[in-house]
Amino acid sequence: MSRKLFGTDGVRGRANTHPMTAEMALRLGAAAGRYFRRGGQDHHRVVIGKDTRLSGYMLENALTAGLTSTGMNVLLLGPVPTPAVGYLTRSMRADVGIMISASHNPAHDNGIKFFGPDGFKLSDEAEAEIESIVAGEIVPAQPQNIGRAKRIDDGRGRYVEYAKTTFPAGQRLEGLKVVVDCAHGAAYRAAPDVLWELGAEVIPLGVAPNGHNINDGVGSTHPEAAARAVLEHGADIGISLDGDADRVMIIDEKGQVADGDQIMALLAGRWAEQGRLRGGALVATVMSNLGLERFLQGRGLRLERTAVGDRYVVERMRGQGFNLGGEQSGHIVMTDYATTGDGLIAGLQFLAAMAESGRRASDLVAQFEPVPQMLKNVRYAAGADPLSVEAVQAEIARAEARLDGQGRVLIRKSGTEPLIRVMAEAEDETVLREVVDGIVAAVEKAA
């Protein structure tokens, strides 16, 4: 079954434009309700969380209407991180969890992500089946079977208490000054609370959402904001989350930024030494740096690569029993603790490494020397297909031939935006720039 609505991370787009309209959200809610309410039993429930975008109100109400129209009882969590929805779906014995968020995207975008009763994101097959229900006639519940909706006041508190349990027992953060950048997003209250309650002196950043400023110059896509705050306040570390807090970047006391690859390298090395790394492997995507692969090989560990998207990382982890994976962009998936990427819990694991080793953040952020890597994005018009143009294919072939044995080229379409991502790695930075710029110029001309 094919999927047109669902991308690599749920349904996403510009608010009030197809598919992110109230009408489509209502149909998606009704379709999900029909899909998860099979058998006709009573007491089906769904939890809905959201980030801080203004359009979240509209989509939350529309989803609620669709879900209750098919007999689902809706529990509204309000603004909570995406991983909190995964956790609470399972904890509260819900049939489905829904997160309304476009993650790191600008405020004018929004999205809808679905979680199954086990707290994991739905499979491609499940999403395709829901999409087929959306396209057909959705049978509503009988009047006496219409669902109810109510707000849940302690959802964030439940997640805060759980997140604290993932920090090593007996360890505290007293004496550490921590900058936490919440991107004016979903973790703007939860993340500072967790860190303060564990004993840290907290410098909060990006904690004044107004519906329009999520990810605007702050958060994991703009780690320079947290880096400035770390230097200004003389902090020991910065933790920079994205709009729905499933990504993280770490900033050391010198203002240096560690991406997901460096964080995964630290955790993989520590967990392997402690006998905690299942399967002797780390799962990451094709975007992860070659230096990470070499780091793992030097320790007798493997790097298992997947397609881009944390859902594919999780699928490989679950299918083969691995417990650590993620993306260079900062999704860190630790299935011992969470069902999806969790930026706050990943930050806690980094802080645990500092507390247990007595080392500074700067001693831990640079686990390996990255192979020079360059990534550029090219935006294209809807309906266009620049990668099918002969001149673009020829330029990519030339680049691959030039880097043969000395690097690699990766060209892909974004699953969430009309972007073509052009990435290459090479030891020679001059060659690297020439290769990437050549492909970008060809794609821009075609687009």
Q: pLDDT tens, 321-355?
A: 999 999 999 999 999 999 999 999 999 999 999 99
Contact between 166 and 187 (Cβ < 8 Å):
no
Within 13 Å, how many C-alpha atoms sit on residue 118's CB side?
A: 9
Q: Does residue 132 have an active-site annotation?
A: no
Q: What are the helix (H) ranges across 234-340? A: 260-273, 290-297, 310-320
Say yes or no: 15 and 147 in one domain: yes
Number of domains into which the chain is organized: 3
Same domain flag for 148 and 166: no
CATH, residue 398: 3.30.310.50
pLDDT tens for residues 198-219?
999 999 999 999 999 999 999 9
Whether 61 and 96 map to the same domain: the answer is yes
Report the side by side order of strands in the sheet with 109-115: 11-14, 109-115, 96-100, 45-50, 73-79, 149-151
Over range 165-180, report the average pLDDT. Answer: 96
Closest CA to 313 of 351, 272, 260: 260
Confidence label for 40 from pLDDT (cuts 50, 70 and 90): low
Structure tokens at 11: 């349904």
> Quick one: 199 and 216 in the same domain?
yes
pLDDT tens digits, 360-397: 999 999 999 999 999 999 999 877 899 999 999 999 99
Domain-embedded: residue 51: yes
166 domain-assigned: yes
pLDDT for res 1? 52
Q: Are residues 62 and 140 in the same domain?
A: yes
pLDDT for 417 equals 76
The secondary structure of residue 7, as a DSSP letter, is B
Is it the case that residue 85 has pLDDT exceeding 60?
yes
The position carrying tokens 């197809």 is: 18
Q: Which residues pair with 374 in a beta bridge?
A: 424
Do 139 and 66 fall within a single domain?
yes
- Within a domain: 343: no
Give mean pLDDT, residues 62-74: 97
- Residues of the domain holding 442: 373-446
**Separate counts of helices (H) and strands (E) for the chain:** 13, 18
Residue 41: per-residue pLDDT: 57
Closest among 161, 381, 166, 426 to 290, alpha carbons compared: 426
In sequence order, what DSSP letters do the residues of 400-411 get, joined into one string? HHHHTTTEEEEE
pLDDT of 98 higher than 70: yes
Tokens linked to 345 = 């819990």
| The domain boundary residue, chosen from 153, 183, 203 | 153
Query: Is 59 in the same domain as 142?
Result: yes
Does one domain contain both 34 and 59?
A: yes
Q: In the chain, what percentage of residues exceed pLDDT 90?
A: 90
Would you state the pLDDT for residue 164? 98
| 85 and 170 inside one domain | no
CATH code, domain with 119? 3.40.120.10
Q: Verify that 19 and 141 share a domain, yes or no.
A: yes
Q: Does 300 map to a domain?
A: no
Is 413 among the domain residues? Answer: yes
225-278: pLDDT as tens digits: 999 999 999 999 999 999 999 999 999 999 999 999 999 999 999 999 999 999
- Please tell me the predicted confidence (pLDDT) of residue 347: 98
Question: Please, are residues 127 and 57 in contact by the beta-carbon 8 Å criterion?
Answer: no
Rounded to an integer, the average pLDDT of 62-70 is: 97
Q: Does any domain span residue 358?
A: no
Residues 71 and 122 in one domain: yes
- Torsion, CA 280, CA 281, CA 282, CA 285, rounded to 10: 180
Check 103, 220, 288, 329 and give the catalytic one.
Answer: 103
If you average pLDDT over residues 405-409, what whole number do you get?
A: 85
Q: List, in order, residues 6 or more apart from 113 with CB less than 8 Å away.
A: 9, 10, 82, 85, 98, 99, 101, 121
Cα distances (angstroms) measured from residue 58 to each of 17, 101, 342, 436: 13, 12, 26, 41
Q: Please tell me the predicted confidence (pLDDT) of residue 37.
A: 85
Calculate the average pLDDT of the chain: 95
Q: Is residue 188 part of a domain?
A: yes
Residue 39 has pLDDT above 60, yes or no: no
Does residue 293 surpass a pLDDT of 70? yes
- The strand pairing partners of 149, in sequence order, are 74
Determine, yes or no, domain membership for 223: yes
CA 240 to CA 347: how far, in whole Å? 9
Phi and psi at residue 226, to the nearest 5° = -70, -35
H-run or E-run covering 82: helix 82-91
pTM of the full structure? 0.91
pLDDT exceeding 70 applies to what percent of the chain?
Answer: 98
Which of 122, 153, 184 delimits the end of a domain? Answer: 153
143 burial (CB, 10 Å; 0-12 / 13-18 / 19+) is exposed
Domain boundary among 183, 218, 248: 248
pLDDT > 90? residue 4? no
Residue 404 reports pLDDT greater than 90: no
Query: Are residues 125 and 104 both part of a single domain?
Result: yes
Residue 206: which residues within 8 A CB-CB, separation 6 or more?
Answer: 181, 182, 183, 184, 185, 188, 218, 219, 225
